[in-house]
Amino acid sequence: MSRTVERARCLLARPGAWLGAEQGVYALRLGPDRRGRISLTLSEPEFRALIERPGLRRRPQGGWTVRAGGEAAPRKAENPPPGRPGFIAGERELIGADGRMVRHAANLGESPIAWLARRKDAAGRPWLSPAEVAAGERLRREVEQAGAGPALTMGWDALPRAGSGGTMRVEPGDRALSAGRRVEAALSAVGPRLRPMLTRICIHGDSLKLAETGLGLRRRQGKTVLKQALAALADHYGIG
């Protein structure tokens, strides 16, 4: 990871360089907009390393660029990094793609679903119903039990799953395998159209805005898709 991060730091020092969230990764471009060629892609841990050094700030046009002065300001728990509502910095042991336990930076605070549950519309009604909130939080807990927290953004296929036949060096416990099967069953139950939104919000911990951007949805369209996905998930779990 360090070689990619160091290259990203060098590229971000160039005029006009910026990062944008796209399809589950962070794309680094040297041009002023998305028409420019992607010079480098980064994972969530690599992106977080750039938040620490040289430090990032939001661009008015979207995405992030280097913070003025080139040094990251001290990050407080109440100041979440880009796209992560209710973020409290911490670490959690997770199963990596090779089956080894490794420590990853993780969100120890409020989940995106819990954050959205407190949002209300113009009439004062909650955005999400109690059943939708319960379903989303249950999926998130199942994912963590399967051995992956919100910091892991390699995709669900990297998590332990029964009969995977992968290259894992250690066999995950029965508890993790059972949780992995339950997560896969839940994602399959909502269908291919709604699955990506649940993956973004409940597995990767993206904010709704970041999920909309990554999935190419219009502003506010993500809320409708998320509610449909959570309703289907609640039906699968038999909630409400």
pLDDT means over runs of 10, the chain (240 residues): 83 90 83 84 85 85 79 40 50 48 54 83 88 92 66 39 36 68 92 92 82 86 94 93
Token pair listed for 178: 């059972």
**Helices vs strands, H then E, count in the chain:** 8, 7
Beta-bridge mates of residue 165: none
Nearest to 150 by CA among 162, 137, 166: 137
* Look-up of token digits 């970041």: 210
- 78, exposed or middle or buried, with CB in 10 Å at 0-12, 13-18, 19+? exposed
Let me know: does 111 contact 96? Beta carbons within 8 Å. Answer: no
What amino acid is encoded at 221 in this protein? Q
- 82/63 Cα distance (integer angstroms): 9
Say what the pLDDT of residue 102 is: 52
Query: What pLDDT sits at residue 154?
Result: 34
**What is the residue whose two structure tokens read 């992030």?**
64
Element (H, E) at 209: helix 208-215
